[in-house]
Amino acid sequence: MLYVDCGVHKVGEQIRKVDEWFADSCDLTILAFEANGASYHAALDALHDVDNLDLRHEALVGPSHEGETVELHLDGDSGKGDSLFAARGEVVEEVPARRLSEILRVDYPWYSSAALLIRMNIEGAEMFVIDDLCDAGMVDDVDGFYGMWDDLSKIDPELDGAFLAMLRGSGITTVTFNDRDMPHRLRMDAVRRSMQRAIARASKRQ
């Protein structure tokens, strides 16, 4: 199982939960991204005891992005509102930029033979990642998408409409799995069952 977590923030509660659920029953690898430098170092410290974790200080971009870096606009608060969209803040941090499709193909070439689960909470940049996966022909390789991708509707409603059309056209639906869900046992049970079903589908595919 390859679990990809985009937008770890400082603690990485979802990473720890996935590790708790599946580390003993699966050959689990966790690939995670945090664009904010301070949050990345906090998460690196908080998750130091999680085995098979590849945590990267990188921002995920779409196929139209040019250059090796991208501007991260800081929310000036806790960092949870940091975004690649300028509407979220005037203070900018220059961050290494990567395409998820490239990372999977180069660093995890076995991804297509694993259960591939992707969670995102990256303040509107989910659209860039989905555009990248669509462009690379990799959407159907993903066995489950997680997170609540509603931030773009608050940043650019017109662009959000295009994103929703992209999701519908690709047959993508998501299961909510964010910080606000963590205290609720029923929600966590639903996420875990969804992931178990995704793993079962991937196993049958192989």
pLDDT of residue 42: 97
Share of the chain above pLDDT 90, in %: 90
Beta strands in 46-193 (DSSP E): 53-56, 59-60, 69-74, 91-98, 116-120, 144-146, 174-175
pLDDT of residue 2: 98
On the CB side of 114, CA atoms within 13 Å amount to 18
Domain 2-69+100-205 fold is: Rossmann fold (3.40.50)
- 131-175: pLDDT as tens digits: 999 999 999 999 999 999 999 999 999 999 999 999 999 999 999
Share of the chain above pLDDT 70, in %: 97
Measured between alpha carbons, how far is 26 from 41 in angstroms, rounded to an integer?
27
Q: CB of 30 within 8 A of CB of 52?
A: yes
pLDDT of residue 1: 97
In total, the chain counts a number of residues equal to 206
Mean predicted lDDT score pLDDT of the chain: 94
Q: Which residues of the chain have pLDDT under 50?
A: none
